[in-house]
Amino acid sequence: MTNTADVLKEKGLKVTPQRIAIYTILKNSYNHPTAEDIYKELVVSNPTISLATVYKTLDSFCKVGLVKELHIVNEHSNYDAQMDDHIHMICLNCNKIFDYKSSGFEGLSDEISKECGFDIKSHHITFYGVCKDCKSHEE
């Protein structure tokens, strides 16, 4: 396991305590936090941090491909440090974003490449619906 400082260095980023703190939060979260969510969590232990710093840091993470910015739910972007291939499922009721890892991915990419002669570099697949929790409240 490489540590966070090494991960940042590998991407050519200067290692600062704030960058380490922000990346650590993202890497350990699976709920696709917004910049505000990250800020609220950080400010408890880092009272001097600003929301602008969080935004700037997330921006530099996105630029080097450390984190993905998702524009799928509302005016606030969500951030995802899980860089392995996965599908997103978005609940139209509670707006939560869930991950789903499917082995069907590769087959579909291969099929598209073959049929269309298209070189796929990245993709973003999103399904919209109602999550299990919301469904059980509806019933």
How many helices and strands in the chain, by DSSP H and E? 6, 5
CA–CA separation, 139 vs 134, rounded Å? Answer: 9
Instruction: Name the binder of 109 from Mn ion, Zn ion, none, CB < 5-8 A by kind.
Output: none
Q: Work out whether 93 is an interface residue with Zn ion (CB under 5 A).
A: yes
Instruction: Name the binder of 99 from Mn ion, Zn ion, none, CB < 5-8 A by kind.
Output: Mn ion
The stretch near Mn ion (CB under 5 A) out of 48-56, 59-67, 98-106, 118-126 is 98-106
Neighbours of 11 (CB within 10 A): 14
Q: Work out whether 85 is an interface residue with Mn ion (CB under 5 A).
A: no
Q: In terms of DSSP H, where are the helices of the chain?
A: 4-10, 17-27, 35-43, 51-63, 104-116, 132-138
Contact 101, 83 (CB under 8 A): no
Given the complex with Mn ion, which of 35 and 49 has the nearer CB atom?
A: 35
Cβ 129 to Zn ion, closest distance in Å? 9
Candidate residues 54, 58, 91, 97; the one interacting with Zn ion per rule CB under 5 A = 91
Q: Work out whether 81 is an interface residue with Zn ion (CB under 5 A).
A: no
Cβ 30 to Mn ion, closest distance in Å? 7
Candidate residues 52, 94, 108, 125; the one interacting with Zn ion per rule CB under 5 A = 94
Pairing type for strands 87-91 and 68-70 reads unpaired
CA torsion 36-59-31-4 (nearest 10°) is -110
**Interface with Mn ion (CB under 5 A):** 80, 99
